[in-house]
Amino acid sequence: MSRSASSRANRRGEPPPSPEPLPSPALDSHTHLDIVVGERPAHGAGDEGWPDDAEVDAEIAAAAAVGVPRLVQVGVDVPSSRWSAELATRHPQVLAAVAVHPNEAGSGAADNDALAEIDRLAALPRVRAVGETGLDRFRTGPEGWAAQEASFRAHIRIAKEHGIALVIHDRDAHEEILRVLDDEGAPEHTVFHCFSGDADFAKACVHRGHVLSFAGTLTFANAAYLREAAALTPATQLLVETDAPFLTPMPHRGRPNASRLIPHTVRALAEVKAMDLSELCEALTSTAERVFGTWE
Ligand SMILES: [Zn+2]
C-alpha cells in the first residue's frame, strides 16, 4: 500500500469490495476521481497534492472490471477542471465536465478570470459538459445567492456557446433552478446531477426534456420519494452516477464511494423501473452518449 493509499484508508476507512459485475456496460455520469484517489490541494497549490496517474488508472480499471467502462470526471473549481480536462485527454474511458461549483461561486470564486478559463476548457474536444453549476441554498447563505446565480447564468451561456451539456447541482433550490433555466433557455442537454426532488419536480424536469441522474441516495431506505421520481422518468431521460467519494449506495452507506460501486445503484434502478438489467444498462449508455457524445 502506498503512503497516499494508507492515509486515504485512515481518513475515510477501507473502501468496500467491488460488487458482482453488470451484465452489460453501464457508466458513471458524475465522479470526482481527484477526491476519490488524492487529497484535494488547497487553492493556489498548483500541481501539488494531485493523485498520481497510476492510482487514478487503477480506479478506472476497477470500474471497467465491473462493467463500468465510461466515466464523466467533474471539476468543481479552476484547478480541478483543468485536471479533469487533462485526464479525459489522456484516458479513453473518461470525459470531462468543467465549472466553478455553486458554493465556490457563492463566495466569489467565479470571477471573470475563472469564467474565462472555464470557457477555454469547454472548447477542448474531450470536455463534454459545463458543470457542476447551479444553486445551493443549503451550504451558501443568502449573502452569496446573487453571486451564485450570476455564475450559474454564465455557465449556462458557456455550455450553449460550445454546444455541450449542462450538469446541474441543485441543493434545496428546485424552483429557483427551473426559473433560471427557463429564463436563460436551457441547453439542449441539461442533466440534474444527484437528482434530489420528488415526483412532482421530476415531472417538471421530464416535461422540459431534462435528464435526471440518480446517485446512491436512490438506494437509501428513507428515499421512497426518489424511487417514485425515478419510476416516472422515461428510460431515455435517466442516468446514474456515484458523485464519488460521496453518497455511497447501500449496503455500504457511510464508507468511501468509487465508480466501481455503481452496480448497486444500477440494480436498484432496474428494480424501480421493473426493467431487465441488461436493457437498463444499454439504455443508460445510449442516453449518456446522446448527452455527452461518444467516449471513443
Ligand atoms: Zn459532484
Looking at residue 290, what is its pLDDT?
98
Looking at residue 16, what is its pLDDT?
87
Q: Is the pLDDT of residue 4 over 50?
A: no
Sign of torsion over alpha carbons 279, 281, 283, 289 = negative
Looking at residue 9, what is its pLDDT?
42
Q: Is the pLDDT of residue 10 over 60?
A: no
Query: Mean pLDDT over all residues of the chain?
Result: 92
The grid coordinates listed for 52 are 498520481
What's the gap in Å between 133 CA and the centre of ligand 1?
A: 10
Looking at residue 40, what is its pLDDT?
62
pLDDT digits 0-9 by tens, 26-60 = 999 999 999 888 766 555 555 567 888 999 999 99
CA distance 24 to 290: 18
Q: Is the pLDDT of residue 13 over 80?
A: no
What's the gap in Å between 143 CA and the centre of ligand 1?
A: 23
Q: What is the mean pLDDT of residues 91-105?
A: 96
What's the gap in Å between 104 CA and the centre of ligand 1?
A: 13
What's the gap in Å between 74 CA and the centre of ligand 1?
A: 7
What's the gap in Å between 244 CA and the centre of ligand 1?
A: 7
What's the gap in Å between 30 CA and the centre of ligand 1?
A: 6
Question: 11-25, 118-132, 157-171, 239-253 — which is least confidently predicted?
Answer: 11-25
What's the gap in Å between 113 CA and the centre of ligand 1?
A: 22
Choice between 48 and 137, residue whose per-residue pLDDT is larger: 137
Looking at residue 35, what is its pLDDT?
87
pLDDT digits 0-9 by tens, 204-228 = 999 999 999 999 999 999 999 999 9
What's the gap in Å between 36 CA and the centre of ligand 1?
A: 11
Q: What is the mean pLDDT of residues 244-273?
A: 94
What's the gap in Å between 32 CA and the centre of ligand 1?
A: 7
Residue 3: pLDDT band by 50, 70, 90 thresholds?
A: very low
Q: Produce one character per residue of 171-194: b if its CB has 16 or more CB atoms within 10 Å, e if not.
A: bebbebbbebbeebebbebbbbbb
pLDDT digits 0-9 by tens, 66-84 = 999 999 999 999 999 999 9
Looking at residue 1, what is its pLDDT?
35
